[in-house]
Amino acid sequence: MKYRGTKLRQLGINKRKLGKTGYNFVFGLLLTIVMVGLIVLGFLWSPYDPEAMQGSVKLNAPNLVHIFGTDQFGRDIFSRVLVGAGSTLSIALGTVLIGGGIGIIAGAVTGYFGGWLDEMLMRVNDALAAFPSVLLALVIISIWGTGKYKVMLALGIAFIPSFARIVRGEFLRCREADYVISAKLIGVSTPRILFVHILPNILPALLSSLAIGFNNAVVQEAGMSYLGIGVQPPDASLGRMLSESQTYLASGPWCAIFPGVFLVLLVLGVGMLGEGILDRFGGGR
């Protein structure tokens, strides 16, 4: 028992040390940089044309020529993963931009002013949030049709409520703060108070929720493409690749494994980064 105790204590000390150096933050940042770096590389250069089919190398296992192997049409999976992750990433970024942008404005205004405007916008928000976001995105896509930008827009709208709610809570917390009163006293206009004086103070919470939102968007895009309502062939996206590889799970598991692992690493990196930002700058919350 004594041994156990000391071991646990040692573990505890180790954990504390890791916490101090911002383990989540450092590792998350590194992983994100590597993944995004690979994706940027994919935009500029890939070893093969991601859409070029080669009949001679159908469903080849990973080898020195095709390091991630090839799919059922003989397309290079490494190239497709890079390019596919690119479109997944851009959809996720677009989603966060739309959802976050509108959510921040709505949350700031409702949280700061309160009153009937708050009631009204928050009820609309509740109505939006009452739909599962995938369902909402499905409805929007069935109205506007599919395609990369429409997926972006649909997911963006579906993501507004979660951002608006977080931002609203933070503005509610800050609106009575003494520094806001000081700002009012020297005649700062309301928009400037909202976005110059208060917004930087809620950045830790905001950035981490944006990171979580980004991850949700990546997964949702993959889910929608998997269902066939996201990115359309022959364009690659990670979800699309996962869905196409389903049939060949037994004969060519690498078709599913590499896009899947890439997806997991991307989400893990950004997720840890978000967590790390909150740990590091969140002021002990």
Cβ 207 to another protein, closest distance in Å? 13
According to CB under 8 A, which one of 185, 250, 284, 285 is a site residue for another protein? 185
Q: Is 183 in the site for another protein (CB under 8 A)?
A: yes
The residue type found at 14 is N
- The span from the CA of 140 to the CA of 65, in Å, is 42
Distances from the Cα of 138 to the Cα of 55, 103, 122, 127, 217, angstroms: 36, 20, 23, 16, 14
Cβ 192 to another protein, closest distance in Å? 8
Q: Is 233 in the site for another protein (CB under 8 A)?
A: no
Q: Is 195 in the site for another protein (CB under 8 A)?
A: no
- The span from the CA of 202 to the CA of 251, in Å, is 50
Which 1-40 positions form the footprint of another protein (CB under 8 A)?
none
Residue 63: name the closest of 44, 43, 86, 47 by CA: 47
Q: Is 57 in the site for another protein (CB under 8 A)?
A: no
Which 196-225 positions form the footprint of another protein (CB under 8 A)?
197, 200-201, 203
- The span from the CA of 255 to the CA of 243, in Å, is 10
Cβ 96 to another protein, closest distance in Å? 22
- The span from the CA of 191 to the CA of 109, in Å, is 9
Please identify which residue in the block is written with the tokens 């919350």: 285
Q: Is 77 in the site for another protein (CB under 8 A)?
A: no
Catalog residues that contact another protein under the rule CB under 8 A: 177-179, 181-189, 197, 200-201, 203
